[in-house]
A and B are shown apart, each in its own frame.
Chain A
Amino acid sequence: MMQRLDYLKETPSQTAGPYVHIGLVPNALGIPGIYPEDLGRAPVTDAAKGQRISITGRVIDGAGMVLRDALFETWQADAAGIYPVNDPRGPADPGVTGWARVAADFDTGIWRIDTVKPGRVPYPDGRLMAPHIAVWLVARGVNLGLQTRIYFDDEADANAACPVLGRIEHRERVATLLARHQGNGQYQIDFRLQGEGETVFFDM
Chain B
Amino acid sequence: MTTTDQGPLYFRDRDWHPAAYTPGYKTSMTRAPFRPLVSLGSTLSEETGPAFGQAMIGELDNNLIMNFTGQPAIGERIILHGRVLDENGRGVPGVLVEIWQANAGGRYRHKKDGYLAPLDPNFGGCGRTLTDASGGYEFLTVRPGAYPWPNRVNDWRPMHIHLSVFGSGFGQRLITQNYFEGDPLIARCPIVQTIGQQKAIDVLVAPLDMNRAIPMDCLAYKFDIVLRGRRQSYFENRKEGL
Chain A residues in the interface with B (C-beta under 8 A)? 6-24, 26, 29-31, 33-36, 39-40, 61-63, 65, 67, 69, 73, 75, 77, 83-89, 97-99, 106, 121-126, 129, 132, 134, 136, 138-147, 149, 164, 167-168, 173, 193-195, 198-204
Do the beta carbons of A11 and B227 come within 8 Å of each other?
yes
B45 in contact with A16 (CB, 8 Å): no
Q: Are A142 and B46 in contact (CB under 8 A)?
A: no
A200 to B100, CA, bound (A): 30
How many angstroms between the C-alpha atoms of A85 and B124 in the bound complex? 32
B44 to chain A, nearest CB (A): 5
Q: Is the CB of A141 within 8 A of B27?
A: yes
| Contact among A14, A62, A63 for B176, CB-based, below 8 A | A14
Q: What secondary structure prevails in chain A residues at the interface with B?
A: loop
B43 engages A164 (CB within 8 Å): yes
Residues in chain B near residue A201, CB distance under 8 A: 33, 35, 37-38
Q: Give the contacting residue for B173; candidates A69, A121, A136; CB below 8 A.
A: A136
Contact residues of B between 1 and 23, Cβ < 8 Å to A: 1, 5-6, 8, 10-14, 16-20, 22
User: A17–B162 contact, CB under 8 A?
Assistant: yes
Q: Which of B130-138, B164-172, B207-215 contacts A (4 or more CB under 8 A)?
A: B164-172
Bound Cα distance A191, B239 (Å): 34
Nearest-neighbour CB distance to chain B for A68, whole angstroms, equals: 9
- Which residues of chain A have C-beta atoms less than 8 A from B109's C-beta? 22, 31
Given the complex of chains A and B, what is the CA–CA distance between A14 and B204 in angstroms?
A: 10
Task: Establish whether residues A140 and B42, one from each chain, have CB atoms under 8 Å apart when the complex forms.
Answer: no
Beyond the given A9-B226, A14-B18, A35-B61, could you list 4 further A-B residue pairs with CB under 8 A, ordered by the A residue number?
A15-B191, A75-B48, A203-B39, A204-B171
Contact call A19/B164, Cβ cutoff below 8 A: no
Which label, helix, strand, loop or mixed, suits the secondary structure of the B interface? loop
Nearest 3 A/B pairs, CB to CB? A23-B100, A141-B27, A99-B50
22 contacts between A and B (CB under 8 A): A8-B86, A10-B16, A12-B200, A18-B112, A19-B112, A22-B126, A23-B99, A24-B164, A26-B126, A40-B50, A62-B31, A69-B112, A75-B50, A86-B5, A122-B242, A123-B43, A141-B25, A143-B20, A144-B17, A144-B18, A202-B37, A204-B40
Interface size on B, residues (CB 8 A): 96
Contact A34 B100, beta carbon cutoff 8 Å: no
Residue of A nearest to B157 (CB): A17
Q: How far is it, in angstroms, between the C-alpha of A181 and the C-alpha of B46 when the chains are bound?
A: 26
**Nearest residue in B to A68 (C-beta to C-beta)?**
B112
The A/B interface has a contact count, at CB < 8 Å, of: 284
A interface footprint on B60-99 (CB within 8 Å = 1, 0 otherwise): 0100000111000000000000000111110000000011
CA distance A106 to B111 in the complex (A): 10
Given contacts A8-B89, A87-B48, contact A20 B162 (CB under 8 A): yes
Chain A residues near B18 (CB-CB < 8 A): 12-14, 143-144
Beyond A10-B12, A203-B12, whether A88 also contacts B45 by CB under 8 A is: no
Contact B226 A23 (CB under 8 A): no
User: Least Cβ distance of B57 to chain A in Å?
Assistant: 9
CB-CB under 8 A from A98, the residues of chain B are 50
Structural contact, A124 and B176, CB atoms closer than 8 A? no
Q: Is residue B175 within 8 Å, beta carbon to beta carbon, of the partner chain?
A: yes
Residues in A neighbouring B111, C-beta threshold 8 A: 29-30, 106
Given A13-B18, A13-B174, A34-B68, decide whether A121 and B43 contact each other with a Cβ distance below 8 A.
yes
B220 contact set on A, CB distance < 8 A? none
Q: Which residues of A contact B33 (CB under 8 A)?
A: 146, 193-194, 198-199, 201
A126-B238, A145-B173 known; A12-B39 Cβ under 8 A: no
B41 CB-CB contact with A under 8 Å:
yes
**Bound CA–CA A40/B49 (angstroms):** 13
Instruction: Using CB atoms, name the residue of chain B closest to A25.
Output: B126
A16 lies within 8 A of B162 (CB): yes
CB distance from B55 to the nearest CB of A (A): 11
A13: shortest Cβ distance to chain B, in Å?
5
Contact assessment for B110 and A136 in the assembled complex, using a CB-CB cutoff below 8 Å = no
Contact of A61 among B30, B88, B200, B204 (CB under 8 A): B30
